[in-house]
Structure 1
Amino acid sequence: MEVVVASSDSQKQDALKVRSKVFIDEQNVPEEEEIDQYENDCTHFVVYDGEKTIGAGRLRFVEDYAKVERVCILKEYRGSGVGKLLMQKMETVSSESSVNQLVLHAQTQAEQFYSKLGYETYSDVFMDAGIPHVAMKKSV
């Protein structure tokens, strides 16, 4: 498994393909909500298993924090440590910038995953794209 910072259009397209499979096809998120106005302003990450794209995520730098967004792993790879590898890479890249905090909106079914990585919930449950979420943060 390899986590890369997308540096080419084809790698960004790989990220969008896996996001589409997970969020649009599997979770029924409308495409217009999944692909948004921030795509060109983010640092995109792609996880490969050989030639196969199996995960993705993006970082959006906002003022003094980085927002972790669109983190997803193909269903057949969940629970195997791929998500942790992806988050570690995203955290490493964010630590090389001037931010001191990471923020994310986690689906409630993934809240425990992020808690194990040191993220703390700081909101009540809210709906986003028809899916329950909580806001979480971590100091870096």
Structure 2
Amino acid sequence: MNIRLTIGDWDTQRSDAQMIRYEVFVVEQKVPLEMEWDEMDRECVHAVAYDAGKAVATGRLLPDGHIGRMAVVKAMRGQGVGGAVLQALMSEARKRGDPAVLLHAQSHAEQFYRRFGFVQEGEEFMEAGIPHITMRHAFR
């Protein structure tokens, strides 16, 4: 596996990030299309990971320190590429001085985020018909 990671704004990352998010969220997880795209994409820092030149994972960092839209194409899950995207977004948050990052994790992914120091806050809730939990990682 030869992973290359890019960080950029929506204008530079849009094409590949949209493709991955559409495949994972809209097609695979049946998230309504109108819920997937929002005006915040233009305000975010986006990460896209590539394997052998093919876009395979993405995520975004909002101005308020939320990480979201973490998605890895099915064939690449469990190979560390999602962790690379997450760590890149955490690094961007740290660089700009955010004291912590917060995310709404799909409940089944809780252990993935715990491996990177995230802890659950509050109770499980539904978002787009999928159980989620709020998780936070404070920088030291």
Superposition deviation, residue 2 in structure 1: 1.2
**Amino acid of the residue matched to residue 102 of structure 2?**
V
3-state secondary structure, aligned to 2:69: strand
Partner of 1:9: 11
- Does the 8 Å CA contact 2:9/2:44 hold for their aligned counterparts? no
- Equivalent of 1:46, from 45, 48, 66? 48
Letter in 1 for 2:129: G
- 2:24 corresponds to 1:22: yes
Provide structure 1 residue ranges, at least 5 long, that are not aligned to the other structure: none
- Residue identity over aligned pairs, in percent, reads 36
Instruction: Summarize the Cα distance change of 1:6–1:130 in structure 2 as closer, same or farther, 3 Å threshold.
Output: same
Q: Matches of residues 35-114 of structure 1 in structure 2 within 5 Å? A: 35-62=37-64, 66-114=65-113
Q: Does 1:31 align with 2:21?
A: no
- Go from structure 1 to structure 2 and tell me whether the alpha carbon gap of 1:7 and 1:105 turns closer, same or farther (over 3 Å shift): closer
Would the alpha carbon gap of residues 71 and 79 (structure 1) be closer, same or farther in structure 2, given more than 3 Å must change?
same
Q: How much does 1:8 deviate?
A: 7.0
* Matched residue type, 1:116: R
What residue identity is the alignment partner of 1:129? Answer: A
Query: CA offset at residue 7 of structure 1?
Result: 4.8
Cα distance between partner residues in 2 of 1:60 and 1:8: 12
Relative distance call for 1:7 and 1:50 in structure 2 (3 A) is farther
Helix, strand or coil for the counterpart of 1:9? helix
Tell me the CA shift for residue 109 of structure 1.
0.7
Q: Counterpart amino acid of 1:35?
A: W
Mapped to 1, the partners of 2:13 and 2:132 lie a distance apart of 28
1:5–1:46: 8 Å Cα contact kept in structure 2? Answer: yes
Q: What is the CA RMSD across the aligned residues, in angstroms?
A: 1.2
TM value normalised by structure 1 = 0.94
Counterpart contact for 2:16–2:48, Cα < 8 Å: yes
Using the size of structure 2 for normalisation, the TM-score is: 0.94
